[in-house]
Amino acid sequence: MSFLQNYLSNAWQPKSGAVATLFDPVTGQPIATAGGPAEGLAEGFAFARTQGTTALQAMTYGQRASLLGDILKVLQANRDAYYDIALANSGTTKADSAVDIEGAAFTLGYYAKLGATLGDARILTDGSAAILSKDQLFQSQHILCPIRGIALFINAFNFPAWGLWEKAAPALLSGVPVVIKPATVTAWLTHRMVADVIAAGILPAGALSIVCGSSAGLLDALQPFDVLSFTGSADTAALIRAHPAVARHSVRANIEADSLNSAILGMDGAPGTPVFDLYVNELVREMTTKSGQRCTAIRRAMVPVQYFDAVAEAVGAKLAQISVGNPRNPEVRMGSLVSREQRDNVQAGIAKLETEAAILYDGSKQAMIDADPAIAACVAPTLLGARDAEQGALVHEHEVFGPVSTLLGYRDSAHAVSLAHRGLGSLVVSVFSDDHAWMAQAGYELAGSHGRVHMVSSDVGKTQTGHGNVMPASIHGGPGRAGGGEELGGLRALGFYHRRAALQGSSATLQQLAHAAKNWLV
């Protein structure tokens, strides 16, 4: 078995007593171990702040973009090993592993190309200079300066590859060293990727560190000018925000938490229309991709009440074709959850939703393929339904993080929008319709409580990128319950790793910035 060592102060740390064991979620076999509380956190963070920051920020944006391109080559060279690890550690089929692994590669490549457009710039200016004096000589120029601290990433278990690189790519491009703390249960893939990049000698000392196993002491080691990005539960997010070091040092925190995402079928989406079929296909895909373990998955499926039965029947027919079990078997289309603990949480969540919604499709009646139900963390897809969505409360409040969605009936457009808002802030809502005027208006009305509004009409049915797919050109995050954070969005992602400052002085002084500056492009 592999022991997942910590990497701090530019060195792999000695093995400590193993206190966490990682298991194959299908067979139950132990596959790796991780240690307890990391030693030398304060020293490791300090090393990154000094050595890593100095080396990275001595480069231009274009040079740092080139580093991202080199990292991408390393990941591509080791792709087969990553798929093997994902299968063993996350229990995912090859197609579902690709969502994570290829998504990570795509995002890295995107930021490598985008960063190259910044060329030899060392400074980002924000807008034009403002005149502060009558003779117009004394002016103010806003600039964006990379932070002088580290970026600490505390990530969730569902995307050990993409979750790392979608954060690390804009951080490193900004010139900010990264410390990654992956969720222990699926940390093997993150650890292997980091080890491969370190072995390749691409990044300067202190630019990339990893802490596996216990998270004890991580937040205590934060200092002023550090930033923190967390993906996980709302309860843990609340503890992070209230942590003394975060509050005392005003550590900038980006949070992605719970999200009861919605999909709305427009009134024009009657059975037999292209929009109806697009909606059904998307709902099934979102319920089953990565066994529903995506923060962007559709949890609430809203349809006109007169189409409720037709949608339930169509979705159930497609779910019946989803074979569940050991992803090593080529007949399996959906693998397992990441652990028995998650399986138990999903089963409990289904039981909770059943108190106010009926089960419309119960996949548990089908036998698992090559998987022992007493050992494997497999859960079959389940579709619940509430014809009168107004009466329910739990369906708008409790997220079941697995292959589970609830079909909800709505009366009219205003009712559909109000139901979506009851999620109290979500990462994404999708709208399916061929009524472009209505969809545009609905998109505007939904934007206030959602980070992304994904609008699908039949003319883009084959080219739309998917409700749950996070594209690096669009922001990822959401208000309220979803955490209030914001990631990606092209060059907007760099904003989290920069500080805005106003430089005031003679126009002649400010003009000296021009040769090293590039205007902020967002």
Q: How many CA atoms lie within 13 A of 511 on its CB side?
A: 5
The Cα–Cα gap between 105 and 90 comes to 18
The reply to whether 256 belongs to the active site is: yes
Cβ–Cβ under 8 Å, residues 404 and 292: yes
Structure tokens at 18: 């193993």
**Distance, CA of 66 to CA of 63 (rounded, Å):** 5
Nearest residue to 334 (alpha-carbon basis) of 288, 295, 299? 288
Region label for 442, one of left (φ > 0), alpha (ψ between -120 and 50) or beta (otherwise): alpha
From the list 204, 256, 250, the residue with the least C-alpha distance to 226 is: 250
Which residue bears the tokens 């697995």?
Answer: 402
The DSSP secondary-structure symbol of 479 reads S
Distance CA 373, CA 26 (A): 9
**Encoded tokens for 148:** 């002088």
Question: At 245, which helix (H) or strand (E)?
Answer: helix 244-248
Tell me the residue length of the chain: 522
Determine the Cα–Cα distance for residues 216 and 35; give it in Å rounded to an integer: 11
What distance in Å separates the CA atoms of residue 170 and residue 176, rounded to the nearest whole number?
Answer: 9
Terminal alpha carbon distance of the chain: 47
Residue with tokens 């004394």: 138
Instruction: Annotate 165-224 with DSSP letters as a single string.
Output: HHHHHHHHHHT--EEEE--GGGHHHHHHHHHHHHHHT-SPTTSEEE--S--TTTGGG--T
26 token code pair: 């299908």
**Cα 155 from chain centroid?**
9
Cα 163 from Cα 19, distance rounded (Å): 24
CB–CB of 97/83 below 8 Å?
yes
Looking at 212, 282, 286, 295, which residue is catalytic?
295
Tokens 């990292």 belong to residue: 71
Give the active site residue among 166, 256, 282, 486: 256
Helix/strand/coil for 335: coil
Would you please indicate which residues are annotated as catalytic (active-site) residues?
256, 295
